[in-house]
Structure 1
Amino acid sequence: MTDLAPRELRVLVAVAEQGGFSAAAVTLGMTQSAVSHSVRGSERRLGAVLFDRGRSGAVPTPAGERALGYARRVLRLLEVMGSEVRAASHGGSRGGGAGDGPEEVAGPLRIAAFRSAALHLLPRALGRLTERHPGIVPEVRIVREVGRGTAGEVLDGRADLGIATLGTTSPVPPELVGGVLVEEGYALVHPAGHPAPRSLPLIDWTENCTSYTRAWWAGQEWLPPATVQAEDDGAVLSMVSTGFGMAVMPELSLVGASPSVEITDLGPERPTRSVGYVTTPELAVSPAVRALIRELRAVAG
């Protein structure tokens, strides 16, 4: 049976974050030999090499990345356990239902969100959350929603909850739980007053959820291939506002758009995407995560 102590998990995480055994030893207040011994013991019990050692330091192997995700999540659960037990000992409630009394919720709450959600959806939810639970300290990281995206941050134990795009092409990973918060449509965005906006060059960005628009996109003969790839949706909107081109963008990206751009509805067949949350089954029942989900649903509804 695999039986790693929290101290051994912290050693693994420190080696990965510091990029080597020596730097991890300094961070942990241990000797390098003690760190090496701990990692070797963990590798022996897990039956896999967790780090590639070299002159440039220590780099997690694929097995190591998987182990690190579990290590961070276990360590986070130990933190949550401590805070919840302390709250319970001072009269806090597990609660959670509509008729329950206020919960004593405190401590850090780590959130990963893609840019438009972090700018236009999350702030309102966090404002409501911290008003009701001033002891919660939100820690927000903006993560590009490409590849493993925000769900990957949760799986890797770097976030308690991720604001993610969900759908048939990007479902909730089987190790996580989640739900849809809002369905948002796409619109055509172009310089205000332009006489022929569909004749303009098309601007796009890597993070744009083309998986949601691909079938629709293929049927639009007027849409040319994108000739400009911007860094993010903010850059796209800026380029459109200066008359550089047109774009097809989701509603969250258009909140607070400049008067110099015009937003044209694409009709009932327009593409849509689902924006939701993902978290681990264990953290889904924690008071802080439940409270955030409630506020996200409130502002999204």
Structure 2
Amino acid sequence: MEARHLRYALALAEHQHFGRAAAALGIAQPPLSQQIAALERELGARLFDRTARGVFPTAAGEAFLARAHRALAEMSAAVSDAGRAARGETGRLRLGFIGSALLELLPSVLGRFVHDHPGVRLGLQEMSTRRSTAALLAGELDVAIGRGAPRGAGAEDLVAVTVGRDHLVAVVGAAHPFARQRKVSTDQLKGQHLIVAPADEEPVVAGWLAGLLGEGADAPARTGGVTEARDVHTIIGLASCGVGVGLGPACLRVAARPGTRVCEVSPRVELPELVMSFRAQDRSPVLTAFLDITRELCPEVSERLERRLGPR
């Protein structure tokens, strides 16, 4: 039994006439009659009564046609679902990212992806670069966005492309003396209480900060102290409260709240590049769709992806 046999039987039940059913199917009447007769022999039951008034389903025919209709609907849905999955319109995308990625890359790319692929289930988790790399290598993520290229065992199996560059800035409340300055020097920062991301989040900043504060257990006390805050919004919020001077990527300007000021740090401190990573052997259509949107919205990233993966 083939799908065409189901279609033939349904067409005959609808038109109640072999000639009209054959015309609707686009075949000659004799082959249709032969196929229906062969189907009845295979099933061992008469599906249609042939009368002078027309052709009508028997009780066996009614039972068969109900299942046939559902079977064809399921086959059509299966074809549709397979096509959508192949185009990356369904499935799952698991994304790990550092908080600052929400300030420059993800708003446009993720917003467009959600709009264009509403059938994809998203798994989103903010995490440090080290954790997201480990999760990516373990198969727990499909994409990771963090600071700097992935490192460690297995990193050679990942594709990593730069998606942004940034440098360090200081954010203060409007009442802070630095609020009237366009730049602050590292010497000025030495006397301030600093609000920074933890070392596992921004290791370059942590190293720079260690040099700024000097050595010794009492160094933070001598220089005003340090408060760790993982999220850039927390850094900005604490700075706006007058707790101290927040330090973070320049992209935090887009999140700066009223009553805060952002100053350049001099000399300039470059941060590790914002990097998007994924497994080189991942051929998921959903990942491909996400990368295609990234290529479309970020021309520079598109060029880097093309060098690594080839043209779309």
TM range (shorter): 0.5 to 0.7
- 1:113-134 CA distances to partner (integer Å, 9 max, x unpaired)? 1223246532321221233333
Letter in 1 for 2:161: G
Question: Contact 1:172 / 1:178 at 8 angstroms: preserved in 2?
Answer: no
Give the alignment partner of residue 126 of structure 2, picking from 142, 167, 179.
142
Question: Contact 1:181 / 1:297 at 8 angstroms: preserved in 2?
Answer: no
Sequence identity of aligned pairs in percent?
22
Instruction: Quote the residue 2:168 is aligned against.
Output: 186
Unpaired segments ≥5 residues, structure 2: 1-77, 180-188, 215-219, 301-312
CA distance in 1, matches of 2:224, 2:153: 27
Instruction: Quote the residue 2:146 is aligned against.
Output: 164
CA distance in 2, matches of 1:235, 1:91: 40
CA distance in 1, matches of 2:250, 2:152: 19
Structure ranking higher in helix proportion: 2
CA distance in 2, matches of 1:252, 1:208: 19
CA distance in 2, matches of 1:89, 1:177: 27
- Map of 1:102-181 to 2, 5 A cutoff? 103=87, 105-118=89-102, 121-145=105-129, 148-167=130-149, 173-181=155-163
Q: CA deviation at 1:276?
A: 1.6
Aligned residues: 205
Give the alignment partner of residue 202 of structure 1, picking from 194, 201, 219.
194
Secondary structure of the 1:255 match is helix
Q: 1:217 to 1:227 in 2, by over 3 A?
A: closer
Question: Contact 1:205 / 1:230 at 8 angstroms: preserved in 2?
Answer: yes
Unpaired segments ≥5 residues, structure 1: 1-84, 94-102
Q: 1:266 to 1:154 in 2, by over 3 A?
A: same
Question: Contact 1:204 / 1:226 at 8 angstroms: preserved in 2?
Answer: no
Q: Determine if the alignment matches structure 1 residue 287 to structure 2 residue 285.
A: yes
- The TM-score, its normalising length taken from structure 1, stands at 0.56
Question: Contact 2:167 / 2:270 at 8 angstroms: preserved in 1?
Answer: yes
Instruction: Quote the residue 2:39 is aligned against.
Output: none
Instruction: Quote the residue 2:241 is aligned against.
Output: 242
CA distance in 1, matches of 2:156, 2:122: 26
Instruction: Quote the residue 2:60 is aligned against.
Output: none
Report the structure number with the largest CA radius of gyration.
2
Letter in 1 for 2:141: A
Question: Contact 1:126 / 1:138 at 8 angstroms: preserved in 2?
Answer: no
- The TM-score, its normalising length taken from structure 2, stands at 0.54
CA distance in 2, matches of 1:255, 1:208: 24
CA distance in 2, matches of 1:268, 1:294: 38
CA distance in 2, matches of 1:256, 1:274: 20
Q: CA deviation at 1:287?
A: 2.5
Letter in 2 for 1:213: V
